[in-house]
Amino acid sequence: MCEKNENDIKIICIIPAAGNSSRFKKGNKLFQNLNKRFNVLEATINNIVTVDLIDQVFIGCNANDFEKPDYQNFINSILINKDSVKSYKKTEFYKGGNSRQHTVFNGLNYFKKLYEKDISNVWVIVHDAARPILGFLEISKFVNNTIKLNKSCIMAIPISETIKKVNKKNKIIKTKSRNETWLAQTPQMFKFDVLFDSLKYCIDNNINVTDESQALEILGLECEVQEGKPYNIKITTDIDMIHAKSISRIYTFEKEIEYLDD
């Protein structure tokens, strides 16, 4: 159920998709087939654009690949859907940067140029391009909960395994407590100015962050976790792709597609 006030809040999503898939042996992981309908990036985009709460979706592409025919063909295949699928009308592609934080920051600047009005009522969702399993229903719940809390939030799961700290030679130094320890996921959601200022500070000071919430931590800003799903995996290596394909067979998109068709 959509609970945002359309007159007060604008929600955008940035999908950073500019990585090189360096740890994936079979090429760009985002263009590997996840199932019969989608490759990984298509599945992620589809899950986001079908969230009614989200007004616009910006996909940050690899700048070196952006002009290549194969990449342009992919972009065109998405844009073609703008004419036939209403939810795809809100998609935009832009050139990403040489790191995740630069790609997200480029997206914020890209939006800022398009949207000249006051951005104090704008929320930004960042969602990994390589997390294609989490469906629009779970994403919608996360977005609604964040709006209710009115604070920065990320999806995360508590750690259940024992944690070992090791040195460079893989020798165990000590066992760390898993209490109060969570694995960060996406989506992550912030007020536009909070995320913009946090990332700008890190970029200006040559501080590398691995997710957006870390940028807020550095400035001492509050951020809360909402418990995510264990199947919301991020595809990084070849074995992750096998897991994602297996999960997608069980946690199928058909139920959500039927929901949309009703």
165 burial level (CB within 10 Å; 0-12, 13-18, 19+):
exposed
Within a domain: residue 166? no
pLDDT at site 70? 76
Residue 260 has pLDDT above 60, yes or no: no
Q: What ranges make up the beta strands (E) of 116-231?
A: 122-126, 153-158, 163-166, 172-176, 182-191, 224-227
* DSSP helix/strand/coil, 34: coil
Closest by Cα among 50, 127, 125 to 89: 50
Within a domain: residue 157? no
Within a domain: residue 252? yes
Question: pLDDT band at 195, cuts 50/70/90?
Answer: very high
CATH (domain of 140):
3.90.550.10
Within a domain: residue 55? yes
Question: pLDDT band at 259, cuts 50/70/90?
Answer: very low
pLDDT, greater one: 118 or 9: 9
d(CA 99, CA 199): 12
Please state the rounded mean pLDDT for residues 228-253. 86
Within a domain: residue 169? no
Mean model confidence pLDDT for the chain: 87
Of all residues in the chain, what percent carry a pLDDT higher than 90?
A: 63
Question: pLDDT band at 59, cuts 50/70/90?
Answer: very high
Please state the rounded mean pLDDT for residues 92-101. 93
pLDDT at site 178? 86
User: Which residue range is the domain that position 135 belongs to?
Assistant: 10-151+185-261
pLDDT, greater one: 83 or 147: 147
- Angstrom CA distances, 212 to 7, 90, 171, stand at 27, 23, 31
Size of the chain in residues: 262
pLDDT at site 29? 84
| Cα dihedral across residues 78, 79, 85, 89: positive or negative | positive
Please state the rounded mean pLDDT for residues 183-192. 98
Q: Tell me the pLDDT tens digit for each residue of 202-226.
A: 999 999 999 999 999 999 999 999 9
CB atoms within 10 A of CB 69: 7
Helices 136-149 & 40-49 angle (0-180, nearest 10): 50
Within a domain: residue 127? yes
| Strands 182-191 vs 153-158: parallel, antiparallel or unpaired | antiparallel
Q: And the tokens for 200?
A: 């700008």
Within a domain: residue 177? no
Please state the rounded mean pLDDT for residues 57-73. 85
Number of domains in the chain: 1
Within a domain: residue 172? no
CB atoms within 10 A of CB 57: 22
d(CA 166, CA 123): 39
